[in-house]
């Protein structure tokens, strides 16, 4: 009987400590992330940028930079929007490496991508 009580107390202490640690980590994660982003390419060759902020007290800046660090697109989204999305048409951009930065309330999330040219195959036909 004493052994089973000791085992139960040890198991309870272990479960409680694991639950407390997980709860503390969740609170820290929520505290450090003021917004979430979804950045993905579409089938038509455009880029969708979705932002979901925890609050709407700060403006959000959306930047598109080339590999030299030059800003090729900049948009400031007013602070009253908590959720928003943008579609970026990158058809006119030159081939190379780019980075999308989403900045809000002192936090920054980035995603990089590369644009390349597709080579087309030449076909030679001789007509008689």
40-89: pLDDT as tens digits: 999 888 999 999 988 888 899 999 999 999 999 999 998 888 899 999 99
Of 10 and 45, the one with more pLDDT: 45
Domain that holds residue 19: 1-32
Instruction: Give exposure, 11-49, as e/b (b: 16+ Cβ within 10 Å).
Output: eeeeeeeeeeeeeeeeeeeeeeebbebebeeeeeeebeb
The CATH number that applies at residue 107 is: 2.60.40.150
Answer yes or no: do 66 and 102 share one domain. Answer: yes
Answer yes or no: do 21 and 39 share one domain. Answer: no
**121, part of any domain:** no
Answer yes or no: do 45 and 96 share one domain. Answer: yes
- pLDDT over threshold 60, residue 20: no
Q: How many structural domains are present in the chain? A: 2
pLDDT score, position 120: 77
**78, part of any domain:** yes
Taking the model in full, what pTM does it have? 0.65
**123, part of any domain:** no
Q: Write down the residue that tokens 């990158």 correspond to.
A: 90
């Amino acid at each position: 009987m004493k052994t089973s009580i000791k085992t139960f107390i040890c198991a309870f202490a272990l479960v409680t400590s694991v639950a407390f640690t997980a709860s503390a980590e969740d609170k820290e994660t929520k505290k450090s992330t003021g917004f979430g982003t979804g950045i993905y390419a579409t089938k038509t060759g455009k880029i969708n940028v979705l932002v979901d902020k925890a609050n709407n007290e700060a403006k959000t800046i959306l930047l598109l930079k080339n590999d030299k660090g030059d800003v090729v697109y900049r948009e400031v989204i007013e602070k009253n929007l908590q959720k928003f999305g943008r579609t970026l048409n990158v058809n006119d951009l030159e081939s190379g490496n780019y980075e999308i930065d989403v900045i809000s309330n002192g936090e920054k999330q980035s995603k990089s991508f590369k644009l390349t040219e597709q080579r087309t195959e030449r076909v030679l036909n001789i007509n008689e």
